[in-house]
């Protein structure tokens, strides 16, 4: 059993426990934490922080897509569960921790030799999603995370995505 300090959050799944060390990002409906699992590995945990029924459906679509679909250019969910905030239980999912984004790479300067490879990775990721009937709708440098271990960009944050086959997961009203 892992012991958490006052600032840490405990995220439990059926088979693992993750200690959320600190928030590393906030979005329209979620917060991402750097977390450490029982075996000492570091992960990212995304928690739904706004729980309207529409946001809940979007979050469910996002995590199910990232859990079910395996492509090297799409962020994959590794585990999921419910976090007890003390007021309510909120869904979360676990993914690979990427500490940089395409925006960070751009600010630091991208080696021209790597620029075309990264561009190809981005196009492959968007095409893979489109072939499954998923339109991301928020493609920007901040949503391409950089995995330094594999020197790859991965598309993340499908929270505003439009799933052309809405019955694939749960129906969500979306704007044009």
Q: Would you please indicate which residues are annotated as catalytic (active-site) residues? A: 137
CB 147 within 8 A of CB 104: no
Helix (H, G, I), strand (E, B) or coil at 135: strand
Q: For residues 125 and 73, is the Cβ–Cβ distance under 8 A?
A: yes
Residue pair 28/159 in contact (Cβ under 8 Å)? The answer is: yes
Q: If you count DSSP H runs as helices and E runs as strands, how many of each does the chain have, helices first?
A: 3, 11
Q: Report the phi/psi class of residue 120: left, alpha or beta, with left for phi > 0 and alpha for psi in -120 to 50.
A: alpha
- Give the closest residue to 73 by CA, choosing from 158, 160, 4: 158
Round to whole Å and give the CA distance between 121 and 73.
Answer: 6
Closest by CA position to 72, among listed 94, 92, 96, 93:
96
């Amino acid at each position: 059993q892992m012991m958490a300090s006052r600032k840490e959050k405990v995220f439990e799944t059926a088979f693992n426990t993750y200690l959320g060390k600190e928030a590393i990002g906030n979005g329209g409906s979620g917060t991402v934490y750097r977390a450490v699992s029982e075996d000492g590995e570091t992960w990212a945990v995304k928690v739904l922080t706004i729980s309207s029924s529409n946001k809940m459906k979007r979050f469910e679509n996002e995590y199910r897509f990232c859990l079910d679909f395996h492509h090297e250019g799409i962020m994959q969910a590794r585990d999921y569960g419910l976090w007890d905030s003390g007021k309510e239980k909120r869904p979360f999912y676990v993914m690979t921790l990427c500490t940089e984004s395409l925006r960070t790479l751009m600010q630091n300067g991208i080696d021209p030799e790597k620029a075309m490879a990264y561009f190809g990775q981005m196009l492959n990721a968007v095409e893979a999603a489109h072939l499954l009937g998923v339109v991301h709708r928020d493609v920007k440098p901040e949503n391409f995370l950089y995995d330094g271990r594999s020197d790859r960009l991965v598309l993340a944050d499908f929270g505003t995505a439009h799933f052309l086959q809405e019955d694939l997961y749960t129906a969500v009203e979306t704007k044009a």
